[in-house]
């Protein structure tokens, strides 16, 4: 990997306030409760949300509170998808009800992230582990066993477990799904049980593909998740949630995949193909990722700088408008009206 320009890549990544590989990321997020679970959100947006709620409560002429959108923060890190613990087959090899997945609609894919070979990002990954440990400790229940993000058998901790919820229940606001990149009826399903389940879910569920992109920034089809991601170094954005389970006295934590972008392809021996909530709903996903990626030192690359003001939401670290973050749009394209209205608080003082 010595031929890759890791320094320039990291210079771009480090500018993201939610980069977990930097100690200051701890000050950028806070836990917020949504019904039965707690979710990490932007600390600045949470403060603005609370301030607006307080103002609405004391001002009877307010006419209704216009509260900032309080959604999960997209936390950024760079890591390697473990070649030995990657279970991203789109149908999860589901053959019928199990204790963990009683129905196909309950399917969750998962993989583990480990430190990449590059020394700089390997060191950053150790910071990621420490930061996650600190964040988790802020909401843990005394006497409860932790389950989810960390492997309790690891001493010291060396990996992070990610998950992805494959299907979502439809609601009245979903509308027509014909514009989506992948349809429920076309979702890969190997077993007869999974195929039959897909047919029965057509009127009740929609597919929630992983927003994952190859080294060129192109959307990866579900059938290629394993062959493309197993053993690859990735730039990944995640959201973190927590809930308590009184039966068995357990604290559950989940790191859900928001976006995955391949930075260094998997070695050929790994690329074999074997092997009511505040969460974001992916009603449609972009087919291209414009975020920062590695370049060979011999190849020039146009500089991608973060947005400087709210009016310059043309560049950033994510290919899709997220909560509490900037977005990346080519300068020769105009942002949509919806994007124009989003001026994230941490940009206002930039």
What CATH number is given to the structural domain containing 132? 2.40.50.140
> Does residue 1 form part of some domain?
no
Torsion of CA 21, 136, 318, 214, to 10 degrees: 80
* One domain for residues 208 and 337: no
Domain range for 316 is 301-350
pLDDT-derived band of residue 66, with 50, 70 and 90 as boundaries? Answer: low
* One domain for residues 311 and 207: no
Q: Among 261, 287, 313, where does a domain finish?
A: 287
> Does residue 294 form part of some domain?
no
CA distances 54 to 91, 144, 195, 344, Å, are 46, 34, 51, 20
* One domain for residues 42 and 155: yes
* One domain for residues 319 and 276: no
Which residue, among 238, 282, 279, has the nearest Cα to 260 in the 3D structure? Answer: 238
Higher pLDDT, 214 or 63: 214
> Does residue 293 form part of some domain?
no
How far is it, in rounded angstroms, from Cα 46 to Cα 52?
10
> Does residue 145 form part of some domain?
yes
* One domain for residues 180 and 312: no
* One domain for residues 161 and 214: yes
DSSP H or E segment with residue 38: strand 37-42
> Does residue 98 form part of some domain?
yes
Q: Among 260, 287, 314, where does a domain finish?
A: 287
* One domain for residues 143 and 259: yes
Q: What pLDDT does residue 291 have? A: 77
* One domain for residues 260 and 329: no
> Does residue 275 form part of some domain?
yes
| DSSP-based three-state secondary structure for 127 | helix
Q: What pLDDT does residue 67 have? A: 66
* One domain for residues 151 and 45: yes
* One domain for residues 103 and 241: yes
Predicted structure pTM score: 0.74
> Does residue 295 form part of some domain?
no
CA distances 233 to 19, 261, 297, Å, are 16, 9, 18
* One domain for residues 240 and 312: no
| DSSP-based three-state secondary structure for 29 | strand
Strands 205-207 and 167-169: antiparallel
Is the predicted pLDDT of residue 238 greater than 50, yes or no?
Answer: yes
Place of tokens 């390697």: 80
Residue 121 has which token pair? Answer: 């990002």
**Domain count within the chain:** 2
Q: Among 264, 287, 310, where does a domain finish?
A: 287
> Does residue 91 form part of some domain?
yes
Tens of pLDDT, residues 119-164: 999 999 999 999 999 999 999 998 899 999 999 889 899 999 999 9
* One domain for residues 311 and 275: no
Is the predicted pLDDT of residue 309 greater than 50, yes or no?
Answer: no
Tens of pLDDT, residues 83-126: 999 999 999 999 999 999 999 999 999 999 999 999 999 999 99
How far is it, in rounded angstroms, from Cα 91 to Cα 191?
9
How far is it, in rounded angstroms, from Cα 303 to Cα 8?
9
How far is it, in rounded angstroms, from Cα 285 to Cα 314?
18
């Amino acid at each position: 990997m010595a031929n890759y320009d890791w320094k320039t890549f990291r210079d771009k990544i480090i500018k993201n306030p939610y980069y977990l590989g930097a100690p200051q990321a701890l000050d950028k997020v806070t836990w917020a409760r949504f019904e039965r679970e707690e979710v990490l959100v932007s600390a600045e947006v949470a403060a603005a949300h609370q301030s607006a709620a307080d103002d609405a409560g004391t001002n009877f002429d307010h006419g209704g509170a216009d509260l900032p959108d309080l959604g999960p923060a997209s936390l950024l890190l760079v890591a390697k998808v473990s070649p030995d613990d990657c279970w991203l087959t789109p149908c999860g090899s589901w053959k019928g009800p199990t204790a963990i997945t009683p129905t196909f609609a309950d399917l969750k894919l998962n993989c583990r992230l480990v430190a990449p070979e590059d020394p700089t990002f390997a060191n950053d990954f150790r910071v990621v582990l420490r930061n996650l440990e600190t964040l988790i400790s802020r909401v843990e229940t005394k006497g409860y066993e932790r389950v989810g993000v960390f492997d309790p058998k690891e001493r010291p901790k060396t990996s992070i477990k990610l998950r992805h919820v494959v299907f979502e229940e439809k609601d009245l606001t979903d509308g027509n799904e014909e514009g989506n990149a992948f349809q429920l009826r076309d979702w890969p399903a190997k077993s007869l049980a999974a195929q039959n389940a897909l047919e029965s879910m057509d009127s009740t569920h929609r597919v929630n593909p992983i927003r994952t992109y190859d080294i060129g920034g192109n959307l990866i089809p579900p059938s290629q998740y394993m062959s493309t991601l197993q053993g690859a170094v990735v730039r990944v954005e995640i959201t973190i949630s927590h809930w308590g389970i009184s039966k068995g006295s357990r604290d559950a934590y989940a790191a859900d995949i928001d976006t995955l972008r391949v930075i260094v392809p998997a070695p050929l021996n790994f690329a074999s193909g074997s092997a009511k909530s505040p969460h974001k709903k992916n009603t449609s996903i972009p087919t291209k990722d414009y975020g920062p990626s590695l370049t060979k030192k011999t190849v020039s690359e146009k500089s991608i700088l973060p947005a400087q003001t709210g009016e310059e939401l043309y560049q950033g670290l994510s290919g899709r408008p997220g909560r509490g973050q900037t977005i990346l749009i080519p300068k020769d394209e105009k942002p949509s009206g919806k994007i124009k209205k989003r001026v994230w608080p941490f940009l206002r003082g930039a």
